[in-house]
Amino acid sequence: MLEMFDTKALGFFVPAPTWGIEDIPDLTGKVAIVTGANTGIGKQSAKHLLQSGATVYAAARSEEKCLNAIEDIKAETKRSDIHFLHLDLGDIAQSYSAGLEFAKSHDRLDMLINSAGVMTPPKGSRTKDGYDLQFGTNCIGHFAFSQPLLKLLRSTAKTAPANSVRIVWVSSAAHFLGSKEGIDFESITEVSRVSPFYHYSQRHVCEMLHTLSERSKLGSIHLANECANRLRDDGIISVSLRNISTDLQRNMWLVRTFMPLYSASLGCLTQLYAATSTDVTMADTGSYYVPWARKYHPSHPKANDPDSQRSTWEFCQAQLEKVVGPTVGLS
């Protein structure tokens, strides 16, 4: 497994960034949603988007925690155009409803940053709908939330400057630890027979397929790439990235001890680059980025496989439609 020694992919020996917060363009008039904006990298991303002129919607499950984060951001930026958006990614119906209500009540959405995540919770943890908590939150939940927003993103892209409408799916270096055969969808509802880290890696291949977190991370990559394929003609850029995590590793002493971890203020750079940099164009849709703001490649052999990407998308679509019926996003 040579990818285990790929220091660039894993985040060791990361060179100094060549792109910084000061390079974020003026975002006046633009609207952004950041999931997981109550803490860590999501909170830092929301702060810098607001500081750069965007209207920001901070999406999170806990209203109390998110409102506290919003007050912190307002105090630091001296700006007030940031708002709480209730989002429980562990509940398919609520995630879909949150996206649908936003789409009905707003006339534009320029940036969707799917940054929230769960990593290695206690074994057997499930979502409200009975799925493994990691894959269910990181992949299915984000899919359900994003689907009703696609029409709004497409309408925004018709009038926005070229290459400016983006979807960013945050994955992880852990995606390469998933099975080399790809995602075992049956295991997602049989959480007692496998370890939590197994599901985490699966989720992160998913995120690259949809724009493009172990299996959950693999899923994120899949979703990113498949989303890129489906939205390319609409002028929407979809990318995934390997980020530097902070709060996410709170249940993993091994990662906290041996993996290189960085502050959230530095860790947010890659997703802010993917969401805002004028260097990112339609030619980059479906790409994968690593710290700091460098295009690279995912380490899993199935990450860039079109059939695997499509399977992850269709699995998430099927789980969504079991709950809400036929959807009007991208089937």
Identity of the amino acid at 185 = F
**Partners of 224 in the beta sheet?**
209
Dist. CA 136–CA 101, nearest whole Å? 21
Using pLDDT thresholds of 50, 70 and 90, give the confidence band for residue 224.
Answer: very high
The pairing of strands 82-86 and 111-114 is: unpaired
* Annotated domain spans of the chain: 27-324
Using pLDDT thresholds of 50, 70 and 90, give the confidence band for residue 50.
Answer: very high
What does the pLDDT look like over 120-158, one tens digit per residue? 677 788 999 999 888 899 999 999 999 999 999 999 999
- Length of the chain equals 331
* Predicted local confidence at residue 204, as pLDDT: 52
Residues designated catalytic = 171, 200, 217
> Cβ–Cβ contacts within 10 Å for residue 8, how many?
17
CATH architecture of 27-324: 3-Layer(aba) Sandwich (3.40)
What six digits make up the tokens of 28?
């006046």
Could you give the count of Cα atoms lying within 13 Å of 95 in the half-sphere of its Cβ? 29
pLDDT at 69 over 90: yes
What does the pLDDT look like over 250-293, one tens digit per residue? 444 445 555 556 788 888 999 999 999 999 999 999 999 988 99
Q: What is the pTM of this model?
A: 0.86
What is the average per-residue pLDDT within 219-225? 92
Question: What are the CA-CA distances from residue 192 to residues 125, 187, 251 (Å)?
Answer: 9, 9, 18
